[in-house]
Amino acid sequence: MNSRQLEKIYEPQAVEARWGQYWLDQGYFHADADAQGQHYSIVLPPPNVTGSLHIGHALNTTIQDILIRWHRMQGHNTLWLPGTDHAGIATQNVVERQLMAEQTSREQLGRDAFVDRIWTWKRQSGDTILGQLKRLGASCDWARLRFTMDDGLSKAVREVFVRLHQDGLIYRGERLINWCPRCLTALSDIEVEHEPVQGKLYHIRYPLSDEPHDGLVVATTRPETLFGDTAVAVHPEDPRHNRQIGRSLRLPLTGRTIPIVGDAVLVNREFGTGAVKITPAHDFNDFEAGERHHLPRLSILTHRGLLNADALREADVEPDLRDAVANLPVTKARPLVVEALQRQDFLTHVDDYPMALGKCYRCKTVVEPFLSPQWFVNVRPLAEPAIAAVEQGHIRIVPEGWTNNYLGWMRGLKDWCISRQIWWGHRIPAWYCTTCTPEARAILDGAGSGSIPTRATPIVSHAAPPVCPTCQQTRFVQDPDVIDTWFSSALWPFSTMGWPDNTKALQTWYPVSTLVTGLDILFFWVARMIMMGLKFTHSPPFRDVYIHALVRDAEGRKMSKSKGNVIDPLTKMSQYGTDALRFTLASMASPGRDIRLSEERIAGYRNFANKIWNAARFVLMQADGVIPLVTPPVVPAEAGSHALQPSTASASEAPVVPANAGTHAPGTPTAMSPITPVVPANAGTHAPLRHSCELSDPGEEAPGTGKSFADQWIVSRVHPVTDAVNRCLQDYRFDQAAGHLYHFIWHEYCDWYLELIKPSLQEGDTATARSTRTTMVHTFERLQRLLHPFMPFLTEEIWQALPHQGDSIVLQPFPKSVPDWENAEAERTFAIIEQCVTTIRTGRALLEYGPSTVLTIRVTANDPDDIARLHDARHHIAHLGRGTVAVLAQEEWPTDRVLRLVVGRVTVGITIEGDVDLNKALARIHKQMQAKQRDADHLERRLASPDFVAKASPEVIQESRDRLALLTAELSLFALSNRQLQNMVSPPPFGKGLG
RNA sequence: GGGCGGAUAGCUCAGUUGGGAGAGCGUUGCCCUUACAAGGCAGAGGUCGCAGGUUCGAUCCCUGUUCCGCCUACCA
């Protein structure tokens, strides 16, 4: 079969499916802890099993895969450990919504059945996610897949919990916590999102109990909470109020009196009236004030956020009002309370008041400060080493701008509430004796309702204790709560590798080399991993933290299902190809900036993939049967030392590859080519497309000897781009690495190199042609390897069709730059060619000669070396400029009917034939002269300034002089050209062009 | 309230020892030139948010300011 029959358009779907499966079958991504080599490891931030992956995951995955493939190709012992997260509240919510649709509830199902139901969902969602990751090309070690609720990881959670409790860093106590009345669970501080709202500030008069006409006016945004007031505070040094301290007030709408206390912490004298009502059970500040003044805590809300009838009775609320507001949610009760206050003349006035309202980050319900017994981690002792690790550079945050963000947060940490009143998650490893705590028995009976009283004594242990140390009884109830999901996530880097056991994996790959994640979970996850890692492994859990951008829509809005602006990665992959999407995301991953993803951009990189595909078609067409067959070494030199090189045995197990694929003899047919999909039934039935030839990197041949100019040049150019890609990846500059690859492949290799060598290739089987074909193929093969981490599927497809050694590009060595390949002379010659050709083409356009018109061209330069280069390169200039080229000194040029154009050091003349409208050319020349004159004037002024000459560096001064000289020379040539053209345009011609 | 980031071509964004302002996409003109029209070639398009300061010289450093975004915070 002939490669000329290749499809003109790259069709990614089949290619991706084929190689994705092949890689898995071959086990290329499996990491062996016993393998040699420098280790490199990443743990995948485990996606929630709440559904499917979004475009942010695609970015996250792409970046990790680029790093992983890059390191794997460098022969490092590379592990990418994947997994998923049980995501307690979020996943429970998903399944509860399903139950709601089925007219049932978790309470009706009961705890065990409900948890079973979530496990079913988890398997489904987990499979979806794994499928998506694989389609993205993620080269994870799937054999090491972990889930946060696996046995091993659960064991790690219990171990950490018990040890923190032993160390006094976990405790149980009654505190005011953030409560979601919809999820019916406690939340940690960072699980509350603050949203600005336009609220109101109600000013309410509290009369003195013994002087009803006098009193204090307090301001509040939540008037309904006054039922729970247990004091009013004023500033002890506020002359307006401080004499009232110690007296009591009558609490409006109730029969209670409450004291006036002095509190310098709570009260800001400048704000409002200087008097603050204290509601210890419903406000964090008031809670602390209540502790300072030993005030009672009166909780007036139920756990569903409704006004509690019993509590209202206890608060001695007026009976009529009590009946009216009981069991109402706050939003409904508030107007009734306000109305009552107004009616009884307690409400002095109401102001508009912008404020921030806390909402549940999972369901957006307004959270309530809620008084309840919970488990907490005392994080301060854990935070200190975690701060030091970053300050001292043991952990590096990239981009480093986020470091202060991290440090600031860590320094202000408060205790972490880790208990959640949900059913999906790791159960708290604490037990209560049913004899000592009779209330605990309710847990056993009910469908999960009931709670353990604050005073109960928990026994924290890996498993249920055999006997109660207090009463010697043996019946226990496990704490019904589960642990915050982020608690188990915090252990991820080491729990996934088998901790607390000291496994080979831990010894080999821990600490993790790089953590790749989004900014949104810097606090939730990264900070806590650092704390836990340091505490339990005495090592930072990772070396580098790369924080990537948030992917927004084209308008810069955050993507969300409710806005309907989510971009589904699978859809885009189907439309444009996975490689195009990956390359887009990598290209846009500039540090510290969010990504606005637009469809056009993806399409642009789809075009890039297509460009490479067509270049491959050309290269293969030219390589077809021509390159001499040379037997490659049986054991590839570079692959031999490669840790991940599959054994001959494993290669032979592959269903789709001939047994000798890794060491194929000359002319061995292979099944893998762009036109012959790897399907076992077809294997070997197609004619060979693969050309066996000696496979060495282009520059490994002595640079400059026996190579044509074009070959010397492209080989010279490979060095800097290789160097740049490696350096950019080292620095996590995926955007710049992608940019270098894009520019080099498209605009150097395709636009210039392939065009330069076409005449040579057409010569047929000459020594020059053979040499050029070799360089062309070798360079192209090298580019595939360089590009592979970014576009794994396309590069594998092409690489397999090119002459190569080995079974897969996945395990080929990543190109290293070789400074010796630089060839300054070839690059100078190229620069001259490029300037000449571009100028000729500009002239062609100005004179409106079509592409097929053969021009008569003269070229020259001031510098003798450049003239020599022009001589050497004149056939290239003739070919690319499409004309006859003579290298002649200016004096020998005709003085008439020549369009002279100047660029840099070269001057180009195009003979004007036929009737041509020269006005375009003249306008162009005028414009260029103006621009150059501006620049020249600027430089002249600068050089005329004594300050500049005295203070600027000699290099800068010399550079300015050189530029001015160049500009002056160009200007005089332009002037000459201008004069000649002016003479020709009068009278203006009727016709134009060549007719 | 505090902190951080951004503002550069129509759009999305690069741009560090301070010295001639770039890319991709879009756009205009010509061209289906045997790898590629998802293409080729050649163009047009920018007082680098505003105002000061430092400097011989500022997109870059400093100060202030406007707008946008994010994080954070207990002023009821």
pTM (predicted TM-score): 0.89
Q: What is the pLDDT of residue A563?
A: 67
Report the distance separating Cα A498 and Cα A496, nearest Å.
6
For the CA of A92 and the C1' of B74, the distance in angstroms is 31
Greater confidence (A522 vs A640) lies with A522
DSSP string of A348-398, one letter each residue: EEEEEEEEEEEEETTT-PBPEEEEEEEEEE--HHHHHHHHHHHHTTSSEEE
Scan for tokens 């200039």, then name that residue: A877
Q: pLDDT digit string (tens) for A554-587?
A: 667 777 666 667 778 899 999 999 999 999 999 9
Max Cα distance, chain A (Å): 119
Q: Which nucleotides of B are covered by protein (CB under 7 A)?
A: 3-6, 11-15, 19-20, 23-26, 29-31, 33, 35-44, 55-57, 69-76
Greater confidence (A644 vs A484) lies with A484
- Cα-Cα-Cα-Cα dihedral sign, residues A589, A590, A596, A597: negative
**pLDDT surpasses 70 at A868:** yes
Q: Is the peptide bond before A680 cis (omega within 30 degrees of 0)?
A: no
For the CA of A800 and the C1' of B24, the distance in angstroms is 30
User: Residue A370: what are its φ and ψ, rounded to 5°?
Assistant: -135, 135
**pLDDT surpasses 50 at A117:** yes
Which two structure tokens, joined as six digits, stand for A165?
């409790």
User: Residue A272: what are its φ and ψ, rounded to 5°?
Assistant: 55, -130
Which two structure tokens, joined as six digits, stand for A576?
């444009």
Q: Give the containing element (helix H, strand E) for A9.
A: none
**pLDDT surpasses 70 at A655:** no
Q: Give the containing element (helix H, strand E) for A605.
A: helix A599-623
Percent of chain A as helix, strand, coil, to the nearest 5: 45, 15, 35
Task: Measuring from the CA of residue A950 to each C1' atom, give the nucleotide at the shortest distance.
Answer: B56
Residue nearest to nucleotide B2 (CA to C1'): A408
For the CA of A169 and the C1' of B42, the distance in angstroms is 71
Residue nearest to nucleotide B29 (CA to C1'): A845
The answer to whether A656 touches A680, Cβ cutoff 8 Å, is yes
For the CA of A408 and the C1' of B48, the distance in angstroms is 33
* Percent of residues, chain A, with pLDDT higher than 70: 89
For the CA of A182 and the C1' of B57, the distance in angstroms is 64
A417-421, A533-537, A688-692: least confidently modelled range: A688-692
A450: region left, alpha or beta (phi > 0 left; psi from -120 to 50 alpha): left
- Rg, Å, chain A Cα set: 38
Residue A646 neighbours by CB under 8 Å, 6+ apart: A26, A27, A28, A662, A807, A811
For the CA of A13 and the C1' of B70, the distance in angstroms is 38
Residue nearest to nucleotide B36 (CA to C1'): A614
A11-20, A167-176, A228-237, A966-975: least confidently modelled range: A966-975
Q: In one letter, which amino acid is A695?
A: L
Task: Measuring from the CA of residue A284 to each C1' atom, give the nucleotide at the shortest distance.
Answer: B74
Task: Measuring from the CA of residue A274 to each C1' atom, give the nucleotide at the shortest distance.
Answer: B76
The answer to whether A202 touches A219, Cβ cutoff 8 Å, is yes
Q: What is the pLDDT of residue A498?
A: 95
Task: Measuring from the CA of residue A752 to each C1' atom, give the nucleotide at the shortest distance.
Answer: B40
Report the distance separating Cα A692 and Cα A689, nearest Å.
9
For the CA of A939 and the C1' of B47, the distance in angstroms is 19
Report the distance separating Cα A671 and Cα A676, nearest Å.
6
Report the distance separating Cα A298 and Cα A421, nearest Å.
22
Residue nearest to nucleotide B15 (CA to C1'): A736
Q: What is the pLDDT of residue A821?
A: 87
Residue nearest to nucleotide B19 (CA to C1'): A956
**pLDDT surpasses 50 at A989:** no
> pLDDT-based confidence at A5, cuts 50/70/90?
low
Residue nearest to nucleotide B39 (CA to C1'): A611
For the CA of A329 and the C1' of B75, the distance in angstroms is 26
Report the distance separating Cα A989 and Cα A134, nearest Å.
66
Mapped onto helix, strand or coil, the DSSP state of residue A650 is: helix
Q: What is the pLDDT of residue A67?
A: 96
Report the distance separating Cα A956 and Cα A819, nearest Å.
27
Q: Taking Cα atoms as reference points, which of A644, A563, A583 lies closest to residue A80? A: A644
- Cα-Cα-Cα-Cα dihedral sign, residues A227, A232, A233, A239: positive
Residue nearest to nucleotide B12 (CA to C1'): A596
For the CA of A928 and the C1' of B65, the distance in angstroms is 39
Mapped onto helix, strand or coil, the DSSP state of residue A631 is: coil
Residue A126 neighbours by CB under 8 Å, 6+ apart: A49, A84, A147
> pLDDT-based confidence at A986, cuts 50/70/90?
low
DSSP string of A796-813, one letter each residue: HHHHHHSS--SS-GGGSP
For the CA of A837 and the C1' of B41, the distance in angstroms is 11
Q: What is the pLDDT of residue A768?
A: 85
Which two structure tokens, joined as six digits, stand for A24?
């898995």
For residue A853, how many other CB atoms are within 10 A of its CB? 15
Task: Measuring from the CA of residue A402 to each C1' atom, give the nucleotide at the shortest distance.
Answer: B4
- Cα-Cα-Cα-Cα dihedral sign, residues A875, A877, A880, A881: negative
**pLDDT surpasses 90 at A551:** no
Task: Measuring from the CA of residue A270 to each C1' atom, give the nucleotide at the shortest distance.
Answer: B75
User: Residue A292: what are its φ and ψ, rounded to 5°?
Assistant: -65, -35
**pLDDT surpasses 80 at A609:** yes
ipTM (interface predicted TM) = 0.94
Which two structure tokens, joined as six digits, stand for A287?
């809670």
For the CA of A392 and the C1' of B53, the distance in angstroms is 36
Task: Measuring from the CA of residue A190 to each C1' atom, give the nucleotide at the shortest distance.
Answer: B72
Report the distance separating Cα A849 and Cα A264, nearest Å.
87
Report the distance separating Cα A421 and Cα A35, nearest Å.
45
> pLDDT-based confidence at A743, cuts 50/70/90?
very high
* Percent of residues, chain A, with pLDDT higher than 90: 56
Residue A293 neighbours by CB under 8 Å, 6+ apart: A231, A261, A263, A278
> pLDDT-based confidence at A552, cuts 50/70/90?
confident
A467-481, A708-722, A967-981: least confidently modelled range: A967-981
CA distances from A976 to A203, A292, A844, A918, A973 (A): 86, 92, 19, 15, 5
Burial of A686 (0-12, 13-18, 19+ CB in 10 A): middle
In whole numbers, what is the pLDDT of chain A averaged over residues? 85
The residues pairing with A373 across neighbouring beta strands, listed in sequence order, are A174
Q: What is the mean pLDDT of residues A824-837?
A: 92
Q: What is the mean pLDDT of residues A536-555?
A: 87
For the CA of A620 and the C1' of B36, the distance in angstroms is 14
**pLDDT surpasses 90 at A992:** no
Which two structure tokens, joined as six digits, stand for A818?
């070789």
Scan for tokens 């309410």, then name that residue: A204
Q: What is the mean pLDDT of residues A912-938?
A: 86
Task: Measuring from the CA of residue A845 to each C1' atom, give the nucleotide at the shortest distance.
Answer: B42
The answer to whether A897 touches A841, Cβ cutoff 8 Å, is no
Angle at A843 between CA A841 and CA A844, to 5 degrees: 60
For the CA of A898 and the C1' of B4, the distance in angstroms is 60
**pLDDT surpasses 90 at A382:** yes
**pLDDT surpasses 50 at A995:** no
Within A510-598, where are the H helices? Answer: 528-537, 569-576, 578-587
For the CA of A937 and the C1' of B46, the distance in angstroms is 21
For the CA of A963 and the C1' of B8, the distance in angstroms is 25
Residue nearest to nucleotide B72 (CA to C1'): A409
The answer to whether A560 touches A56, Cβ cutoff 8 Å, is no
Q: What is the mean pLDDT of residues A593-617?
A: 89
Q: In one letter, which amino acid is A892?
A: E
Task: Measuring from the CA of residue A234 to each C1' atom, give the nucleotide at the shortest distance.
Answer: B76
**pLDDT surpasses 70 at A654:** no
CA distances from A780 to A772, A787, A791 (A): 12, 10, 14
Task: Measuring from the CA of residue A938 to each C1' atom, give the nucleotide at the shortest distance.
Answer: B20
Report the distance separating Cα A975 and Cα A967, nearest Å.
12
Task: Measuring from the CA of residue A401 to each C1' atom, give the nucleotide at the shortest distance.
Answer: B4
Sheet hosting strand A215-220, strand order edge to edge: A215-220, A192-207, A347-360
The answer to whether A186 touches A417, Cβ cutoff 8 Å, is yes
Residue nearest to nucleotide B69 (CA to C1'): A556
β-pair type (A459-460, A430-433)? antiparallel
Report the distance separating Cα A169 and Cα A165, nearest Å.
6
Task: Measuring from the CA of residue A576 to each C1' atom, give the nucleotide at the shortest distance.
Answer: B38
Q: What is the pLDDT of residue A513?
A: 96
Q: How far apart are the first and last CA of chain A?
A: 45
Report the distance separating Cα A951 and Cα A202, nearest Å.
67
Residue nearest to nucleotide B5 (CA to C1'): A592
Task: Measuring from the CA of residue A928 to each C1' atom, give the nucleotide at the shortest distance.
Answer: B43
Q: What is the pLDDT of residue A985?
A: 76
> pLDDT-based confidence at A440, cuts 50/70/90?
confident
**pLDDT surpasses 70 at A450:** no
For the CA of A715 and the C1' of B56, the distance in angstroms is 43
User: Residue A918: what are its φ and ψ, rounded to 5°?
Assistant: -90, 0
Q: What is the pLDDT of residue A462?
A: 94
> pLDDT-based confidence at A625, cuts 50/70/90?
low
Q: pLDDT digit string (tens) for A47-96?
A: 999 888 888 899 999 999 999 999 999 999 999 999 999 999 999 999 99
For the CA of A965 and the C1' of B46, the distance in angstroms is 27
**pLDDT surpasses 80 at A796:** yes
Scan for tokens 């701060």, then name that residue: A387
Which two structure tokens, joined as six digits, stand for A677?
């999909």
